[in-house]
Structures are given as structure tokens and as C-alpha cells.
Amino acid sequence: MNEQVRGRSEGSVRRRPDGCRSALSEAYDTALLDLDGVVYAGGQAIAHAVESLTAARGGGMHLAYVTNNAARTPLTVADQLTGLGLPTGPDDVITSAQAVARLISEQVPAGARVLAVGGEGLVVALRERGLQPVFSADDDPAAVVQGFDPTLDWGRLAEAAYAVQRGVPWFASNTDLTIPRERGIAPGNGALVEVVRTAAGGAPQVAGKPRPPMHRETVLRTGAQRPLVVGDRLDTDIEGAYHGEVDALLVLTGVATAAELLAAPPQHRPAYVDADLRGLLVPQPGVTEDGDGFRCGGWRAALAGDTFTVAGEGAPLDGLRALCAAAWTAAGNGRCTADAGKALARIGM
């Protein structure tokens, strides 16, 4: 995109955050938005999310909500978003349950039984693919699939373990170890998958972010031509964008921290970083080389050995962008040094 200032110096390895001379909502046609930690935390909208997304859509950007949470149906998610002030239809929601149901349907006979260990969203997605959900390992399933369900009990996890022990092909909607809630960070579907792995061994085929089946499902359902992934997790949202070869905006309203961003390996480096979804509505400042360091806005940062130097003043996010460039460019690709905390404190983060 010729309106952007690119920060990749070789191949697909990003050495610094990108700049964009126009608002991201103008430069990209579709925002592929994660939900938990980006739009809401549990049942509460995150600050500035509703107003920012309303403005982005009003300017012509298509909003698509892409979630690894397989517990609920697209209709239920759409209704929640509508209730928060974001009018949404079920076709605007893509879930990992849909992605894993497609993946299973490509490997088992039409109408096959599938042991469903998850919520309503997983059951509905299986039925949409012509598969028959069952709930016992003794129902002769052709596959077993796990999806997040906050009400899941020991008995259903045991059924999954029994089926996997018998050699039934095993699938998982996603393997996020945690999920943001109103009260903090809670265990995610990946933690439940680990319970079954501990009992039965092996490893499931995974459909959700950052795996390719989720990206494929999203593209098929949205038809996006210039998509921008928007997420709060480096190991799912940002890595998924990396594998899909599309740009990503990291918002610091969920799981990822500034320190983790400095230490990010190439597949976890977003094109853009901002505090929250207001970042969709503004240009993104570029990061430029400045001698042996990097400058963004009023800040200059460098990394010599294991020591950051940072000087200047201005918006803390500009300081973070400059620090990212210094860390990502250094030998070792994004080491988190001992004094990263001091550098972040210096810029006010």
C-alpha cells in the first residue's frame, strides 16, 4: 500500500512498526476484530471501543468479528455486540467453531458423528456442516472436538479422553491457554485441551488463530480485499496475521504487554501498535533510523548490547514504537533485556 511507510528490511521479517499516512480505517477495507480483550472483556465494552468502531464503520470500513471463543453462536455474539451499541448481524461474526467444523467435515464422511466437548456454538457449527454432534465416547464418533465452554465439567472432559485413547481423531477449536474476563485472566480452551492431553496423550488438529484454517474461514466469509487484523494477543491474533500475510494492529487493552511486545519474535510483531481501538481512526507515525538508534515522534531509542537508551518526550506510544524498532533490529531478534522495564518507565508505560 503506497500510503504506508514500511518497516520490513528483508523478507517477511519486520524490524520496526509501520507508519500509515492516512487513518487505518481508510487504508484498509475490513477490520478483522478479535473480541475478548479488544471489543469487550467479559460482558463489558472496553473503553473507546464502541465509539471508535462506530466511527470506522461510518467511514466505510467493514467490521468483521473474529473470535477463537467457540462457546457461543454467531447470532449470540451479534446480539451481544448489538446490545453494546454496535449493530451486528451473525454473518459479521466468524468463530473458531466454524473453522474447526469445516476442518472436520473435510476429513470424515458426510453426516458422521462427532463427539462435541464444548458449548452451543460448537454444536451449531457442526450441524451447519452436516455433522451429527454426540456426547459420549460410546456413541461411535468419527472424531472428537473440543471448544471453549465455561460450564464444562469433568465428565465431558473424561469422555473426550476416552475417545482419544481409543484412537478417534482429535480436533480443537483453539488452544488459547487464557481468556480475559471482567475480573481478570481466566483459563481458556487450551488449558482444557491440556487436561485431555495429560490423560490421553497425543495432540489435536487445531483450527483457530493462529492456525491457517481460521484465516481461510475468515477470508471465505468476509471477502476482504485489504484486511487489517486487530487483536490483543501476540501468539494468536498477531501470529495469525503473520501466517496469513496480512497487516495487524495490536491494541494494549487485553493480554499482551509492552514488555512482551519488545521481546516479540518475528511472527509476533504487529504492523501497528496503539493503546486501544481509537488507533483505527488516526494515521500511524513512522519510525525512522537515527544514527545507531530509531526515532518516533519526540522519542529516540537505541539498544547497545543488553542496554536500552531512550531519550526525548512526547506520546508514550511513540516511545514504545521507537523501542520496538531498537529491540527488533538488534541481533537476537527482539530480546527482552534486563532494563526493558526501566526504558518503558522512562517513556511513561
Half-sphere exposure of 316 (CA within 13 A, CB side): 11
Residue 53: count of CB within 10 angstroms of its CB? 28
Distance, CA of 174 to chain centre: 11
Half-sphere exposure of 211 (CA within 13 A, CB side): 18
SS3 170: strand
Question: Which grid coordinates are listed for 268?
Answer: 509476533
- Write down the residue that cell numbers 530480546 correspond to: 335
- Catalytic residue IDs: 34, 36
Q: Say if CB 96 and CB 147 are below 8 A apart.
A: yes
Rounded to whole angstroms, how far apart are CA atoms 169 and 176?
Answer: 20
54-67: string of b/e by CB count within 10 Å (b at 16+)?
ebbbeeebbbbbbb
Rounded to whole angstroms, how far apart are CA atoms 131 and 114?
Answer: 7
Rounded to whole angstroms, how far apart are CA atoms 50 and 214?
Answer: 25
Rounded to whole angstroms, how far apart are CA atoms 226 and 176?
Answer: 26
- Write down the residue that cell numbers 511507510 correspond to: 5
Burial class (CB in 10 A: 0-12, 13-18, 19+), 284: buried
